[in-house]
Structure 1
């Protein structure tokens, strides 16, 4: 039997979906592959590309932008009238006026479909290889195709089904799409390995994704209507959450921010994640995206500063304040903020070694302190240590204006200045980065154990209003952290929605949560659009144009 190994994949057969790119498919025939690759090498080489687009999908300006900036959590104004203008795409994303020409939507669409293409190539190639890992890899490839399909269903309201790269995909929506993704996950679960780590699709990862899929099924089958959460589907959520919890394989992290550290690949709370270890393919600016242009997290890199990107909205910040008033949320909830060294809040200059310099984490407010840079170099104390002190907007040519983050952030001149809005530093910057800025080796969380408890709690509420059991699940998560947040005394869907915000802010779950909880048509800072058609995004115009030779094949979503 003639053996073909597809390297680098893709495709012009998928170009009807992506809009044609310059990606090329190289087919290695039997002679060439036999001369250069063992079956083990071929199997390893064919599964790796299936995951390789995840870092691109989860890039701070792709999936993060459309899952967070479209919500009440994040806002990215036109900073100082000069930065992050980008033809208004971040303003449109936040105000729900996004269009089919949005480049972040296009890029996310392309990367998802490229990942799907690579999965299909692997599905067709792996059965021809006589390697011990081929069966597990085949299950992973098919499961990843289902995961990519789940993303297109959630974001764009459709799923593409094909078994060979050369075929034209069948398009499914609604109930059919949900059933397809579900059945694909169920088909691969028996053959997946339980112990491959968070960077690959494991049994636990598929259980978590099935729980998430069942929880959102009511939305996926009727995206513009009122969700009807079926009792049997909520039972399935509970069933798969129970499997994960009862497996004993995962553990809630006592240190909340350790979940997002640069060495989090072995954190026991992670179930499924984007593997970004430095020796692999990490390149995400999640740690820098929100910081000031005058915050420099790494003493070794005087050019690695923040981007003055998105801030949290005052609306989201007020949910924390209202929860814990009259106490400050930083005094009560370990998820809100962690101060790493007291020098940050010391108005006097201080001195610190490079290994002891660590940024504060969480939600950053008020006057900021850090490494002081003048004329391109960091100032040092007489003993050679780095000087830490009050920061000013030097990089913005405002050397007398403090970096003092304010609660107010909006699209007014004052509200879009460089210091407007409280910022978020959740993922840790990488000390192993080769550039100091562009490479991040923290795994980006897709599913973690806290979400399993929260999903189980939600399913119990939606099925039978079992508030007592739901409350217990939420309080398990709260109690797990060092200096735990006080236990809640009551539970409802509104309380749970707020609690999900506290636990998962900046983790790219907010848009999906808001739609499921009926909040996405609400009003928040600079957003009043209540159009239900905006629950899913427009299909990129490049994809519509690429499919124009197939009349009626790829129709634009309603309202675009």
Structure 2
């Protein structure tokens, strides 16, 4: 679906969005003459609207790559959902730095952001834009609406499946809101359309809402590995429940590691497998067909011709290339010379850039390991993880070399293995022997043999955190992981944290992002997170 349907925008979906976003966002419908009833005269409109919900994660406007944005107030490339979420999760940690001077972008790695940070503000806006779209889809597919339109039974049956997918996407978005911001405005399809001030939901209540929604659709959504590639299924629901429960001690101060065992086991038993391919092939332009898709549970899909954006994978690939790197080897027409990593990530690998662990995908030629000047691309090793070429080195479908075909693996089996192992270590039950087996499956692929395998004595919290970094770096997990392990703000050091070369600790309140000052100025129902 997502590779064949070009992003479209149904006018009524944005009528009410101003209720939960900053005043400077100028949100206008594509055609304000179009009514909801007219939009749904065509049966295919329901699937097209669902496609828009998915596309909201990968593109940032109506025509691609730019020119008709969903949100205004920040460059359309910067305002892309995946690009923003990746920046929140990676630039704030030891895994990534960016050399550009765009606005307050460097404050993310320095952990010196304020409630006026435009990147945090636009992440917040993007989240609630997605919530608004899913809410409207659910309004327009209610039994009452379908009855009024005389929707025939076969289509109604399909729409019920679509609704479960939409609810999953809303739960995913609200999980991002919970994880990043804590107490946020809360709106569902039951709220009225039109301008009003949403109330603020407490973290514990939002946690319960997300859990309830996921449990409600667990048996309504299409079964594990039975939906189209790129669409959510039962295993995606189980993964999101696992992520929610893994971090429950942070969110609601109540460990739920036994539930992590339950739901990761469901995923592991669903028939996914660690691909025989080398690790690097998970992140190539043909990662939807080259065999590595056997372990991908929920990707954000990209197509160089049909999902063009300056965010998403375009950003992750182009911005990672610079210095002596050869753009053609990455299937692109030029590098943007921005993203690198810190020595802290490099040192996670025995032997560092020359590690026998082949997950260490670093470019060192002309690069220094340590960073003395963040603005200098050659300071810090470059990361070669994502490429727009297939297993044979052939570039993706966009012959200009601008836009990649590479999909982003938001959830994959390796994460389920690591979550299971962590829950075992944290006394959630399960089997230590299984945990070791799962980790060794990953390390056998990483090393190409069993030389890197571990025994039960190595299964500690510190090992799990380091192994998560080695396996999942640059996949938008790190900030959440460091917070769960108590090493994000007032503990844990890495270069340029706190805006000093050697790094320093920061205030513990930074475990949550601030609510944007602009929204606080509009919505009197909101209270700022402590410290801001």
TM-score, normalised via structure 2 length: 0.81
Aligned counterpart, 2:396:
432
What is the CA distance between 1:469 and its match in structure 2?
4.2
Q: Is 1:509 matched up with 2:524?
A: no
Q: Which of 257, 265, 268 pairs up with 1:242?
A: 265
Q: Which moved more, 1:248-257 or 1:503-512?
A: 248-257
Instruction: Give the corresponding residue for 1:98.
Output: 113
| Stretch deviating more after TM superposition (289-298 or 535-544) | 289-298
For the residue of structure 2 that corresponds to 1:133, the secondary structure is helix
The structure-2 alpha-carbon separation of the partners of 1:364 and 1:468, relative to structure 1 and needing over 3 Å to count, comes to same
| CA contact 1:75–1:313 (8 Å) conserved in 2 | yes
By how many angstroms is 1:436 displaced?
4.0
| Match of residue 334 from structure 1 | 358
Pick one of 289, 293, 311 that aligns with 2:319.
289
Change (3 A) 1:254 1:165: farther
Q: Give the 3-state SS of the residue equivalent to 2:306 in structure 1.
A: coil
Partner residue, 1:479: 444
Deviation at 1:312, TM superposition (A): 0.9
The Cα shift of 1:101 comes to 1.9
* Counterpart-to-counterpart distance in 2, 1:31 and 1:71: 47
CA 191–319 in structure 1, closer or farther in 2 if over 3 Å, else same: same
Q: Which residue of 1 aligns with 2:236?
A: 205
- In the other structure, the counterpart of 1:495 is 463
Matches within 5 A, 1:214-293: 214-222=245-253, 228-229=254-255, 233-266=256-289, 267-283=293-309, 284-292=314-322
Counterpart of 1:162? Answer: 188
Q: Which moved more, 1:261-270 or 1:49-58?
A: 49-58
What does residue range 515-534 of structure 1 map to in structure 2 within 5 Å? 515-521=483-489, 522-527=492-497, 528-534=504-510
The residue aligned with 1:345 is none
| CA-CA distance at 1:96 after TM superposition | 1.1
Residue 32 of structure 1 is matched in structure 2 by 38
Distance of 1:464 and 1:142 partners within structure 2? 28
Q: Deviation of residue 268 (structure 1)?
A: 1.1
1:183 aligns with 2:212: yes
For residues 194-233 of structure 1, the C-alpha deviation after alignment (integer angstroms, 9 at most, x for no partner) is 22244211111111110011001111125xxxxx52xxx2
1:76 is matched with which residue? Answer: 98
Task: Give the structure 1 partner of residue 339 of structure 2.
Answer: 310
Following TM superposition, by how much is the alpha carbon of 1:328 offset from its aligned partner in structure 2, in angstroms? 5.4
> Residue 132 of structure 2 aligns with which residue?
117
The verdict on how the C-alpha distance between 1:197 and 1:31 changes in structure 2, with shifts beyond 3 A counting, is closer
Contact 2:346 2:352 in 1 (8 A): no
Output the aligned Cα RMSD.
2.6
Aligned residue for 1:22? Answer: 26
Residues 391-412 of structure 1: per-residue CA shift (max 9 Å, x gap): xxxxxxxxxxxxx01101134x
Alignment partners' CA distance in 1, 2:481 and 2:401:
30
Q: 1:118 Cα deviation (Å)? A: 0.7
Structure 1 residue 452: Cα displacement: 0.4
Give the alignment partner of residue 14 of structure 2, picking from 3, 11, 14: 11
User: For 1:22-66, what per-residue CA distance to the aligned partner results, in whole angstroms no more than 9, with x for missing partners?
Assistant: 2234474477347xx432x12112211211210147667512221
Distance 2:281 2:308 in 1: 18
Distance 1:192 1:443 in 2: 23
Q: Which residue of 1 aligns with 2:378?
A: 419
What's 1:557 paired with? 529
Q: Indicate the residue corresponding to 2:84 in structure 1.
A: 62
1:45-94 deviation digits (Å, cap 9, x = unpaired): 221121121014766751222111100111224xxxxxx1124x233111
Kept after mapping to 1: 8 A contact 2:257/2:428: no
Residues of 2 paired with 1:168 and 1:199: CA distance? Answer: 34
User: Which of 536, 539, 545 is equivalent to 2:521?
Assistant: 545
The answer to whether the 8 A contact 2:20-2:197 is kept is no
Q: Which deviates the most, 161-170 or 457-466?
A: 161-170
Indicate conservation of the 8 Å contact 1:288/1:425, yes or no.
no
CA separation of 1:257 and 1:282: change in aligned 2, threshold 3 A: farther
Change (3 A) 1:54 1:28: same
Shift of 1:437: 5.0
Asked whether the 8 Å contact 2:296–2:409 carries over to 1, the reply is yes
Higher CA-based Rg: 1
After TM superposition, the score normalised by the length of structure 1 is 0.77
